[in-house]
Amino acid sequence: MSCLGRIVEDLCGGPRARPDAGGKAPRPRDPSDKWVPGNPGRLADQYSIKKELGEGSFGSVCLVTRKIDKLDMAMKKMDRVDKKTKKTADLEKLKNEVDIMRQMDHPNLIKMYDDMSDEVKIYLMMELCTGGELFDAIIEAQHFSEAQAASVMKQFLNGLNYMHAKSITHRDLKPENLLLKDNNSSVEKNVLKLIDFGLSCKFEKNVPLKTKAGTPYYVSPEVLKGSYDELADVWSAGVIMYVLLSGQPPFYGDNDNQVLDAVRKGTLEFQTQCAVWKEVSGDAVVLIKKMLMRNTKERCTAKDALENVWVRDNAPRAAKVNLSAGLVDNLRKFRSVNKLKKAAIHEIAKVLNEDKLKTLKEQFQAMDVNGDGMLSMQELTEGMKKGGLKQIPEDLQQILKDLDSDKSGQIDYTEFLSAALDKRHYGQRDVCWSAFCHFDKNGDGKLSRDELKLVLESAEAKVTSIKNNNKELDDLIKEVDKDGNGEIDFEEFMQMMSSD
């Protein structure tokens, strides 16, 4: 089972506005404090907290209003010390991210207005985006044209070109990091905002970057090799454009490892992949090919892409019609991550007979050197070495994070089992029935919409945008509910668990 996944939590930003005057005198600061806030005034003096918008492992997001001018913002609150693990936040990493945000001032990059801190938390005041993620907006609209795609890509590339001109590379471009400013405009009339600069860094010409960063579908081949430059961002943008026009990724597989293998090969196909490409103009295909050149010397830059006729003249040779319904269907399926299956496997790991788990239990105990019932990063690394794995994955930290479902910073026994189980364990009807009954709160033999919502909310709580909707839940039901009655019975549940 693949352990790769989402690389970082969403942390978005932009330039910081000049601190407002007023407020009470700041408290004396500890000279050893690594975080120097942009605004030392008290939070309550300058901002009114309206409501919670969501929470995740990084902290929480609130809607706040700046008192001096009544401007609404999204405020991210992050704990200096994690309440569960008691570990201190990586303030140097966060400070580096904020320093990068302060250097940027562009309409297609989300803004960071202010930053503050106290003894307990760090606060980042961000531009409020109510339009949600770009792909979700397309799915909700149920139609999308090539001209709209060109308009979106122009905004996207404008922001990216600005970053590259300032010698900053994003390093984690993906659809989740493309938000719309408001929810009152159509996609092409909206303002696109690029977010999440947690992996962004400065670069120098002819000095290759080495740190592997990114997300499987969108990462470039040269990043996987460990030597790359800012053109890795152009590759990611090309993948996003491909998905934008077809609803499917150009490099795919049944799990993250297969996806990464496909990226390494870099075999790009169009017509055989998806019928939607028959409706897309040749100009768009040519641009995607230029953005997805494996040889970086032949790959176009963000500036080159902006000057391409398809972007510059808004897809002039595209048919003046919406792309087929297949695009939206493909996009919906691609976006619908089956979290129910992940939650079910986790539940099955709790109830499986110990005899069936003997080998996995022995493996866990062998790695748990200090006997505390948890696997730390060091124990996981040493366990892999002793198990004969000669090359330890460079993204082991992320693997640990992905396995750590309760965000404790370590892997407990059940988390280890749920990651190590294969289909011969979780594909058995008796163990699946046990998990199904756990989810079926009213015992009627079906999983209702409300019951599924409870499963997903308990399985994962994180914020990717503040747009409050249930499309993901609807997509999941549509994917699994074969008879279309709006509920999932046990046979449909079993079919989901048995699929690859």
Within a 10 A sphere around the Cβ of 78, how many other Cβ atoms?
Answer: 19
Give me the sheet containing 71-79, strands edge to edge. 47-56, 59-66, 71-79, 121-127, 112-117
Instruction: Give catalytic status of residue 172 as yes or no.
Output: yes
Beta strands 121-127; 112-117: pairing state: antiparallel
CA 371, CA 336: separation in Å to the nearest integer?
39
> Phi/psi at 115 (nearest 5 deg)?
-140, 140
Within a 10 A sphere around the Cβ of 467, how many other Cβ atoms?
Answer: 18
> Phi/psi at 60 (nearest 5 deg)?
-145, 165
CA 126, CA 132: separation in Å to the nearest integer?
15
197 within 8 A of 15, measured Cβ to Cβ: no
Composition of the chain by helix, strand, coil, percent to 5? 45, 15, 45
Q: What DSSP character marks residue 228?
A: B
Both structure tokens of 154: 């122009």
Q: What DSSP character marks residue 28?
A: P
Catalytic residue among 136, 172, 404, 440: 172
Q: What DSSP character marks residue 446?
A: E
* Contact residues for 353 (Cβ-Cβ < 8 A; gap 6+): none
CA 253, CA 496: separation in Å to the nearest integer?
17
Q: What DSSP character marks residue 191?
A: P
Nearest C-alpha neighbor of 73 from the set 13, 131, 126: 126
- Residue 204 three-state SS: strand
Q: Which residues of 238-275 are buried (b: 16+ CB within 10 A; e: fewer)?
A: bbbbbbbbbbbbbbebeebeebbebbeeeebebeeebe
- The vertex-53 CA angle with 51 and 59, nearest 5°, equals 105
The catalytic residue positions are 172
